[in-house]
Structure 1
Amino acid sequence: MSLTIDIHSFSYKKGGIPKDTTGNGGGFAFDCRGILNPGRIEEYKAQTGRDISVQEYLEAKTEMPRFLQLVHNMVSISIENYLERGFEHLQINFGCTGGQHRSVYCAEKTAHFIRENYPEANVVIHHDEQPQLNAEVTI
């Protein structure tokens, strides 16, 4: 069996940390609320973390690049260990206030990072508050 990595973006206000349905008891939960919220800026309110202008804002005007680098360093330790030991599941959750901008951005960028660096793992993204994004191709 191969390692499946479920990545969730979620809202702390609406649903809280997603449950792990695999029976493993959870995984990583990263709180993105310490990063400036583009949702408080009028031009980004209707957008998500998939929109280029939101991404540019997060990358240029916030600590998001540093935050994600640390996240990727941390999850890599578990991914490498789980692959080596033949584990089948890992869950990585990103939460923010509304589950629309920061958490979506982190979920997408982390999925890309994992697919690039660990092609033997199967990555599945779940945007809990933005279900319309679940059917779309990821960035």
Structure 2
Amino acid sequence: MMKKTLQILVQSFSYRKGYPEDPAGNGGGFVFDCRGILNPYRFGNLKYLTGKDKEVEEFFVEKTDMPEFIESIKKIIDITINNYLEREFSDLQINFGCTGGQHRSVYSAEKIALYIIEKYPQTRVSLVHRNSKNWMLK
């Protein structure tokens, strides 16, 4: 019998727009609140960038606790991913929220999706930035 592939949905979202729904019908998954990390939106031209931009990454690494935040999340999700793989579960959702869904949550979702892809190649990862249509870009 073939093992089920664990599908992992990683999303960024804006708390202003509400929590993401669970399309798999499992009642949700992880929701990490990124609002405890300093917001690059408040700093000049970073306002018009996203968590995908190098300048924002440098800001997070040099001026915030984001690296520790991401490392802590890796430890937490590893426990669940390993358990879900062992039990052959089909779906897991990992969500990251911040005020606008443009900087902190996007960066976190990008980093965690990449981490999972590299560490768990037997999974299928989908990455969605739910607020991308509302990003403030120049």
By how many angstroms is 1:23 displaced? Answer: 1.0
> Runs of 5+ in structure 2 lacking a partner?
none
Letter in 2 for 1:112: L
How far apart are 1:131 and its partner, in Å?
A: 4.9
Residue among 51, 54, 74 paired with 1:52: 54
After superposition, the C-alpha distances for 1:76-117 in whole angstroms (9 at most, x for unaligned) are 100000011100100000000000000000000000110111
Match of 1:21 among 15, 20, 23: 23
Which stretches of structure 1, 4 residues or more, deviate above 2 A after TM superposition? none
Q: Which protein has the larger Cα radius of gyration, Structure 1 or Structure 2?
A: 2
Q: What is the alpha-carbon root mean square deviation over aligned residues?
A: 1.4
Alignment of 1:100 with 2:71, yes or no, is no
Residue correspondences, number: 132
**Residue number in structure 2 paired with 1:121:** 123
TM-score by length of 1: 0.92
Q: Residues of 1 paired with 2:57 and 2:111: CA distance?
A: 10
SS of corresponding position for 1:56: helix
**Per-residue CA distance 1:48-71 (angstroms, 9 max, x = gap):** 000000001011110000001001
Please state how far the C-alpha of 1:125 moved relative to its aligned partner: 0.5
The unaligned stretches of length 5 or more in structure 1 are: 134-139
Q: What residue in structure 1 maps to residue 13 of structure 2?
A: 10
| TM-score normalized with structure 2 length | 0.92
Identity %: 53
What is the alpha-carbon distance in structure 2 between the residues aligned to residue 59 and residue 130 of structure 1? 23
1:136: which partner in 2? none
Distance 1:114 1:98 in 2: 24
